[in-house]
Structure formats: structure tokens, C-alpha cells
Amino acid sequence: MTIKTGGTLSVAGGTDVTFADVGTTTPNALTTQVNSDADYRTRRKIAYKVRNATIQADGSYSKVKRTATITSPFILASGATTFNVMRIELDIHPEAEATLRQIFWRLVLSSYSIQMLRTSGP
């Protein structure tokens, strides 16, 4: 498999979908959902979670972790519900400059993730 580096990501066409805050209280997290989905059983959700860096016993810092979990429920022909999930995760050391983290996330991880999802198949 070949993956491009330094590419530009863009989205063209499609329809806007609004994810609104669910209103639940979860420490270091935010859950959003598509309120316009007609059936509450198949309502799409995105959960954002943050684990900030902490000082370890030896004085070093743990990594910062940011996760977005996208869940898209689907009702099978049998009537059972399956939860299709995709996770996007960033786990980086806090000594990396903010700009480096942004570049790393936007250009490298986003681009690689999208390309890998599009080129890999069953």
C-alpha cells in the first residue's frame, strides 16, 4: 500500500449533518448526536474524550490522549441492533510543541487514516 504525505484534505458535496450535545455529564468527555435522525435506535453519535497529561512519580509527564468515537447503529434484518464504531485517536507527549501536534494531527494522522480506510477492504 502507498500513502501520500503532505496532501490536502477536502470535502466536496454532500449534506450538512448537525451533531448536538446530548447533555449527559461525563468527566473529560462530550457526547453529541444527530437529533434529526428519525429513529432514536439508529441515532448517530460522536463521543469526544480527553485525558490530559499528568506528572508521573519520576517527574516525567504522561502522554495527552484525545479520542473521538463515532457510532452508527444499524438494525439488522433479524431485528437486532448492531453498533458500527470508528475511533480516531491522538496519543502524543506534551513536550511536543502545540504546532507540531496540530501538524501531526491534521496532515499526518487525518490523511493517513482517510487513505487507509479508503484503500483497505475486505
Residue 67 lies in a domain: yes
Structural domain includes residue 116: no
Residue 110 lies in a domain: no
Segment 13-51, tens digit of pLDDT = 778 888 899 998 888 899 999 999 999 999 999 899 988
In a domain, 64, yes or no: yes
Which residues, including other chains, have CB under 8 Å from residue 16's CB and lie 6 or more apart? Answer: none
**Residue 101 included in any domain:** no
Enclosing domain of residue 54: 20-94
Task: Give the residue, 107 or 51, on which the prediction is more confident.
Answer: 51
Examine residue 31 and state whether it is found in any structural domain, yes or no: yes
**How many domains would you assign to the chain?**
1
- What does the alpha-carbon distance between residue 65 and residue 93 come to, in Å, rounded to a whole number? 9
The mean pLDDT value for 70-96 works out to 89
Confidence (pLDDT) at 72: 92
pTM score, whole prediction: 0.71
